[in-house]
Amino acid sequence: MRRRPDWVGWGLVAVQFACLGYLAATGPLIAAGLWLALEVAGVALGVWAALTMRLRVNVTPAVRPGSSLIETGPYVWIRHPMYAALLLTGLALVLNAPTPARWAIWALLAANLVAKLLYEERLLVAAFPHYAAYQRRTHRLIPWLF
């Protein structure tokens, strides 16, 4: 049976990449000073999450057939460490070269990623019976806060 395209998921991905592309195009890709440490932390979190998933990263919120729920690595504390990594890295780039437009785009990225993770979590609850228990013991993006 052929699966229908997930237009909501792909729309969220398009906004995400547009925001990241804007931040990349309007300032240096490598932050300076203290902001470099924040950028490195974001990249390190993203790499750790990708390696924990054995590099089977899916840019869309769709749950692939045969996939399993990852609960190790950064996923012990954060359900969406890759989104947290994008926000940290993007924040470092904005703080390094702040403009009102870059702040607005970062805020749009943050809102988009929250919408994307809420949508993804509905799909994960439907796909994995034990996802609700996982939700109760972890945080979405920021340990002990959100």
Residue 138 has pLDDT above 70, yes or no: yes
- Nearest in space to 106 (alpha carbons), one of 87, 124, 78, 123: 87
**Per-residue confidence (pLDDT) for residue 87, from 0 to 100:** 97
Beta bridge partners of 141: none
Give the count of beta carbons closer than 10 Å to the beta carbon of residue 78.
21
> In this structure, what are the phi and psi dihedrals at residue 78, rounded to the nearest 5 degrees?
-125, 130
- Residues 123 and 125: their CA atoms lie apart, in Å, by 6
Per the model's pLDDT, the better-predicted residue between 145 and 79 turns out to be 79
Percent of the chain with pLDDT over 70: 97
Residue 10 has pLDDT above 60, yes or no: yes
Percent of the chain with pLDDT over 90: 80
Distances 28 to 31, 36, 100, 103, 132 between C-alpha atoms, Å: 7, 11, 16, 15, 40
Residue 1 has pLDDT above 50, yes or no: no
Residue 106 has pLDDT above 80, yes or no: yes
- Residues 53 and 73: their CA atoms lie apart, in Å, by 9
Give the count of beta carbons closer than 10 Å to the beta carbon of residue 106.
21
Residue 144 has pLDDT above 80, yes or no: no
